[in-house]
Structure 1
Amino acid sequence: MARSWGRRTAGDSGGALDLYAYAFLAGGRQRVVESAIVALTEQGVLSMRAARLRATGEIRSGHEVECAVMVSCPRGKRVQDVLDSVARSPSVDDIARRLVGLGLLRGRGKRITRAGRRLLSAAASEGSLPAYVLEGPAVLVRSPVRHGLLSAHPIPDGLGRTLRRMGKALDPDSSTGSTGDGASGGGFGCGGGSGGGD
Structure 2
Amino acid sequence: MTPQPDVYDVACLAGGTQRVVDTALVALVVTGRVRAVAPGELQVADPRRRHPVEAAVLDAVGARGRRSVETVRWRALGDDRVTAVARRLRREGLLGRLLGPTAAGRRLLRGARPGAGDPVRPVALDGPHRLEDPALRAAVLEPPPRPVLPGAATPWELTFADNCEVARRTREELVSRAQHGRG
TM-score by length of 1: 0.63
| Correspondence for 2:89 | 99
- Tell me: CA distance 1:125–1:35, structure 2 relative to 1, closer, same or farther (3 Å): closer
- Runs (5+) with no aligned partner, structure 2: 144-183
Alignment of 1:11-90 (within 5 A): 15-48=3-36, 49-59=38-48, 61-73=49-61, 74=63, 75-90=65-80
Question: How far is 1:146 from its partner?
Answer: 0.5
| Distance in 2 separating the partners of 1:37 and 1:143 | 15
- Tell me: CA distance 1:125–1:115, structure 2 relative to 1, closer, same or farther (3 Å): farther
Q: Greater RCO between the two (CA within 8 Å, min separation 6)?
A: 2
TM-score by length of 2: 0.67
SS of residue in 2 equivalent to 1:71? helix
1:134 has 2:159 as partner: no
- Tell me: CA distance 1:140–1:113, structure 2 relative to 1, closer, same or farther (3 Å): same
Q: For each residue in 1:43-78, what CA deviation from the matched residue of structure 2 results, as whole angstroms up to 9, or x when unmatched?
A: 11101122111101232x521111111112231111
| Distance in 2 separating the partners of 1:54 and 1:138 | 22
- Runs (5+) with no aligned partner, structure 1: 1-8, 153-198
| Distance in 1 separating the partners of 2:78 and 2:9 | 15
Give 4+ residue runs of structure 1 displaced > 4 Å after superposition. Answer: 125-129
Question: How far is 1:148 from its partner?
Answer: 4.0
The answer to whether the 8 A contact 2:52-2:81 is kept is yes
The answer to whether the 8 A contact 2:39-2:138 is kept is no
- Over the aligned positions, Cα root-mean-square deviation in angstroms equals 2.2
Q: For each residue in 1:157-185, what CA deviation from the matched residue of structure 2 results, as whole angstroms up to 9, or x when unmatched?
A: xxxxxxxxxxxxxxxxxxxxxxxxxxxxx
Number of aligned residues: 138
